[in-house]
Amino acid sequence: MKFAVIVFPGSNCDHDAYHVLKNQFNISVDFVWHKNNKLNKYDGILIPGGFSYGDYLRTGAIARFSPIMKAVINESKKGKIILGICNGFQILIESGLLPGALINNKKMKFLSQNVVLETVNNNSVFTKKLLKGQELIMPIAHKQGNYIVSDDILKQLEDQDRIAFRYKGNNPNGSISSIAGILNSQKNILGMMPHPERAAEDILGSSDGKYIFESILK
């Protein structure tokens, strides 16, 4: 398996993602600069967190027009694995690969804290190693993580088992239905606000993020 970690101006979790893929799970991985336009040699694509283009205009809105995103969209149609974390989730939404929008947190503040997630879907390439209802501890670090979507699309997400994770107990940012991560209809794309790459080693205080990467490998 070979992964691409996409790098935009302002990405700041790219090295975290690269480290976890290469050193924790022995996955072949390359950094791919956003001006490249080919991803055909990769089996998986990870769009990391950060502040692409400084979050000017709107989070993810400028990154959506980078040449690399045409390649991401093309590879997604082939069923390739695509994981968008935090700003990566925002970029996937702006690109139309996932539905809804991410707006300012309910208290308009940047949040950096651990959260408890509940596993809702355990039948995707990203969640095979998890049990339905299993709790995970991971950090969040965002200001625009409040997920909103129309009632019709929310029902569709629920009916199609496309909600991957919910915040459990405390909903930190006000996301509708406590949603923390969603899948596309083919379930080869996952977007999530919490950071599994920052919770994949015991030394970080939680290694629960490893289940997502282990699921991908499985």
What pLDDT sits at residue 85?
A: 98
Domains and CATH numbers, the chain: 2-217 (3.40.50.880)
SS3 string, the chain, reads: CEEEEEECCCECCHHHHHHHHHHHCCCEEEEEECCCCCCCCCCEEEECCECHHHHCCCCCCCHHHCHHHHHHHHHHHCCCEEEEECHHHHHHHHCCCCCCEEECCCCCCCEEEEEEEEECCCCCCCCCCCCCCCEEEEEEEECCCEEECCHHHHHHHHHCCCEEEEECCCCCCCCHHHEEEEECCCCCEEEECCCHHHCCEHHHCECCCHHHHHHHHC
Residue 105, pLDDT above cutoff 90: yes
Amino acid at 168: K
Question: Is 86 a known active-site residue?
Answer: yes
- Give the pLDDT confidence score for residue 28 in this predicted structure: 98
Q: Which of 13, 34, 94, 195 is catalytic?
A: 195
Share of the chain above pLDDT 90, in %: 97
Looking at residues 5-17, what average pLDDT do you find?
A: 97
Residue 13 annotated among the catalytic residues of the structure:
no
Mean pLDDT calculated for residue range 104-133: 97
Q: How far apart are CA 118 and CA 166, in angstroms?
A: 5
pLDDT tens figures, 50-79: 999 988 878 899 999 999 999 999 999 999
pLDDT of the residue at 44 = 98
Would you state the pLDDT for residue 210? 98
Q: What is the mean pLDDT of residues 144-155?
A: 98
Residue 218's pLDDT is 85
Whole-number pLDDT of residue 39:
98
Q: Is 197 a catalytic residue?
A: yes
| Tens-digit pLDDT profile for residues 39-52 | 999 999 999 999 99
Look at residue 190 and tell me whether its pLDDT is greater than 90. yes
| Catalytic-role residue among 75, 86, 94, 142 | 86
What size, in residues, is the chain?
Answer: 218
How high is the pLDDT of residue 184?
98
Q: Catalytic: which of 13, 34, 75, 197?
A: 197
Of residues 172 and 218, more confidence is placed in 172
| pLDDT of the residue at 55 | 85
- Average pLDDT for residues 128-142, to the nearest whole number? 98
Closest CA to 188 of 154, 211, 164, 167: 164
Average pLDDT of the residues of the chain = 97
pLDDT at position 57 is: 78
Beta bridge partners of 44: 3, 81
